[in-house]
Structure 1
Amino acid sequence: MHPSDLFAPAFPAPPAFGQARTARTDSSVDSAADIDALLRLVASGGPAEPRRRLIADAAPAAALAAGPSRWHRCGLGASQQRALRQPDGRTLEAAHAWLAQPGHHLLGWHHPDYPPLLRRTPHPPLALFVAGDAALAWHPAVAIVGSRSPTPAGREHAGAFARSLAAAGLTVTSGLAAGVDTAAHHATLTAGGRTVAVLGTGPDVPYPRSNNGLHAAIVAEGAVISEHLPGAGPRREHFPSRNRILAGLSLGTLVIEAAHRSGALITARLAAECGREVMALPGSIDNPLARGCHRLIRDGAALVESPEDVMELLAPLAARLAGDLRTRLEAPISEPGPPPGTGSGASPAAHPPGDPDHKRLWQALGHDPTDMDQLVARTGLTPARLSSILLLMELEGRVEAQHGRYYRSR
């Protein structure tokens, strides 16, 4: 059997979104009250784990109505509770208006339509805003990422791999960024394939603005996904957290071109932490944009030279996802505990350089690799908070990671 035969035919179409797929038959799952409550929870901000815990065994409206005592037991902080009591009416009104438009969806952590692969990651978002075909969040996908300024050959490789993988039945996911992301999305659409863009902005805010047309095309032919409220603009700290969703939705991540320090390498590492396949395309030793790929390969990523290599690597993971779809996710809808050492499950948040937590972590880091448990002990910060700051430090080039240990860049 050819590897491509394991994708498109193996996946039954999910039931229409908004219909329960599991033993949970609570008729209020899609009620207006639940949608409003979930939007209020999203808008309250802060760590996601307490908010996920709040709706793990109760519909959002009921969880919100339970009041401050339950909010406190679930771990919501004072600022989150204050935001729930006094929500920003204008923000909620804008979100409701966005959801009222055709093809717009809100998938909460509590909902049976929440993507199963993303649910199993260490830091799943509380909710996803989806514009377009929400069922694509369940479809077997490969993330194609790389440089925002690729070489002509890198751009061609991104397009060629995307076209072949889409033709094989895989959904191509990427981040709508300039360069490799744009080439992958364009090529998939041109080939008539499925593509999903995961944004670091609100679902209605294309970034960069030069991709306005591409954003509209993906909404029409595929899906745009974001954890941020409609209208949310680009913020630097949103993009590392965007990468965890991109990695979590995909069976594997393919890096086409990447410099030694690149957001694509962060996506690849997050994919590995989720237990997904990490693949890299080798290049010339004279090409600085090949160095990140060579580093990934040295660290254990699969070296791939053709789309067939990618399909062969992803086939076993795709077969397991097909089983999830066939059984309609029969497992109870509840929050799984994070794997040991992966943190508490909160979404990464901003930590500017002047932030006390940022300074505390920097002082706790040395030039020798230090694991997360040691950093927790030294700083008193939660693993989730540490992870968010470390992601930003990595992108700044101040911190490097090696086998789950962190140290200051030399």
Structure 2
Amino acid sequence: MDELEELRAWMLLLRTPGFGAAMVREAVARADGTACGALRLVRERCDGLDAAAQAWLRRPDEKRLEDDLCWLSEPQHAFVRCTDLDFPPLLQGIDQPPAALFVMGDASALLRPQVAVVGARQASMSGRLHARGFAGELARAGFVITSGLADGVDGAAHEAALDAGQPTVAVVGTGVDRVYPSKHRGLARRIAASGALVSEYPLDTPGKADHFPRRNRILSGLALGTLVVEAGLPSGSLISARLAAEQGREVFALPGSIHNPLARGCHQLIRDGARLVECASEIVEVLAPLAADMGAELARRLGSSHDASADTHEATTASSVDTELLEAMGYDPILMDELAERTGQSAGTLTSRLLMLELDGRVESLPGNRYVRLKSPATRRGW
């Protein structure tokens, strides 16, 4: 199958008016996992679609599709499909999972253990300081900080992770080539340089009121837990927390003054069963075992996709694979791309193995998608 034609079919399906993620996933599943097959099925049965969808399928904007493919061909731009092995496994099980993700930056960041940090756009000074303090400590403990690039708590959390020299993930309600709010253009560039900007919406999609609540299911779905720093009643942060709880994830909330209206949402979450936390170590204690389990499952999932025979795969123990990987790394910082070239392994497989080695204190991740081998096993970072 021609990969370029397959990508074009994906772009065409995702841009079909009124054809949401659930419909795209269903069509692709019916076509044995191919977008080209799904497109044929949809065109054969397009009578049930509205006029705008039928018009697009009959005569799509070829210039728009060409621009999409051109964007995808550029370095640090990725398109992760629900059929790909490196599609974030935590997203597969949520209600209404996305069909695909557009990523600007390092897509492997989506496979690392994440903590969502959310809160009020009009956060108080103390709220911003709390967001920075918690996000910085969690980042240094080895968690990727995930948020929504909004003003207030979101921006403070992203900045703290970057200032700690760690990647951060921003899930946006626009196309990843747009920045909202515009004041965060510089922050978005920093995030893309060492972490990832992520969206389910096609390129050049403007921000719409209903996009941001919908993106919250992805924000919480990527993370092992969600921390709410400040939130009023009602607020978008409470939507993220509710979605996290429905997805079976941990929800944490900071208590505040009874006189602070931005503490009422957190207090409501605590009454509803969220964990009251006063320091980042309390979050780390809860999520560290889940992170280790996630790494082991990811290693098993990606490892089982190797082209080698089953007998060979079973005979190759994890320890020998890790030894070979460590030898290939040497002791100088190395880029993921260079490591993939040295080992002949895919970035997805390497990500899972490096995560396990990082959890074991044998490897440390560095800014810029680099890794370094530690000369002697260290204790788990902050764990």
* TM-score for the superposition, normalised by structure 1: 0.70
Judge conservation of contact 1:51–1:76 (CA < 8 Å) in 2: no
* Alignment counterpart, residue 272 of structure 1, candidates 237, 242, 245: 245
**Identical aligned pairs, as a percentage?**
50
Residues 76 and 305 of structure 1: CA distance in aligned 2, closer, same or farther (over 3 Å) = farther
Displacement of 1:125 after TM fit?
Answer: 1.0
Residues 316 and 213 of structure 1: CA distance in aligned 2, closer, same or farther (over 3 Å) = same
Task: List structure 1 segments (4+ residues) > 3 angstroms apart after TM superposition.
Answer: 65-72, 75-82, 329-332
RMSD of aligned Cα (Å): 2.0
- 2:157 equivalent in structure 1: 184
SS of 1:327's equivalent in the other structure is helix
Pairing of 1:324-343 with structure 2 (within 5 A): 324-329=297-302
- 2:137 equivalent in structure 1: 164
Q: Distance in 1 between matches of 2:86 and 2:6?
A: 15
Displacement of 1:315 after TM fit?
Answer: 2.5
* Alignment counterpart, residue 40 of structure 2, candidates 48, 65, 85: 65
Judge conservation of contact 1:127–1:227 (CA < 8 Å) in 2: yes
AA in 2 matched with 1:91: R
- 1:37 equivalent in structure 2: 9
* Alignment counterpart, residue 171 of structure 2, candidates 198, 214, 218: 198
AA in 2 matched with 1:289: L
Displacement of 1:98 after TM fit?
Answer: 1.8
AA in 1 matched with 2:229: I
Residues 263 and 71 of structure 1: CA distance in aligned 2, closer, same or farther (over 3 Å) = same
- 1:260 equivalent in structure 2: 233
Q: Distance in 2 between matches of 1:86 and 1:322?
A: 45
SS of 1:55's equivalent in the other structure is helix
Displacement of 1:59 after TM fit?
Answer: 1.4
- Larger mean Cα displacement after TM superposition, 309-318 or 166-175: 309-318
Residues 308 and 31 of structure 1: CA distance in aligned 2, closer, same or farther (over 3 Å) = same
Displacement of 1:266 after TM fit?
Answer: 0.3
Residues 67 and 302 of structure 1: CA distance in aligned 2, closer, same or farther (over 3 Å) = closer
- 1:140 equivalent in structure 2: 113
Q: Deviations over 1:368-402 (max 9, x none)?
A: xxxxxxxxxxxxxxxxxxxxxxxxxxxxxxxxxxx
Judge conservation of contact 1:94–1:230 (CA < 8 Å) in 2: no
Judge conservation of contact 1:55–1:109 (CA < 8 Å) in 2: no
Residues 127 and 299 of structure 1: CA distance in aligned 2, closer, same or farther (over 3 Å) = same
Displacement of 1:50 after TM fit?
Answer: 2.1
* TM-score for the superposition, normalised by structure 2: 0.75
Displacement of 1:288 after TM fit?
Answer: 0.8
Q: Deviations over 1:34-59 (max 9, x none)?
A: 11000011101423222101112231
Pairing of 1:3-402 with structure 2 (within 5 A): 28=1, 31-46=3-18, 47-56=20-29, 57-66=32-41, 68-69=43-44, 79-329=52-302
AA in 2 matched with 1:59: T
Displacement of 1:322 after TM fit?
Answer: 1.4
Residues 71 and 328 of structure 1: CA distance in aligned 2, closer, same or farther (over 3 Å) = farther
AA in 2 matched with 1:199: V
Displacement of 1:94 after TM fit?
Answer: 2.6
Judge conservation of contact 1:176–1:197 (CA < 8 Å) in 2: yes
Q: Distance in 2 between matches of 1:160 and 1:127?
A: 33
Q: Distance in 1 between matches of 2:92 and 2:17?
A: 19
Relative contact order, higher structure (CA 8 A, sep 6+): 1
Judge conservation of contact 1:147–1:264 (CA < 8 Å) in 2: yes
Q: Distance in 2 between matches of 1:204 and 1:253?
A: 26
AA in 1 matched with 2:151: A
Displacement of 1:100 after TM fit?
Answer: 2.2
Q: Distance in 1 between matches of 2:42 and 2:258?
A: 60
Displacement of 1:329 after TM fit?
Answer: 4.9
AA in 2 matched with 1:31: E
Count, aligned residues = 302
Displacement of 1:139 after TM fit?
Answer: 0.7
Judge conservation of contact 2:146–2:171 (CA < 8 Å) in 1: yes
Q: Distance in 2 between matches of 1:207 and 1:197?
A: 11
Q: Deviations over 1:85-131 (max 9, x none)?
A: 32222332332222122110111122222110011101111110000
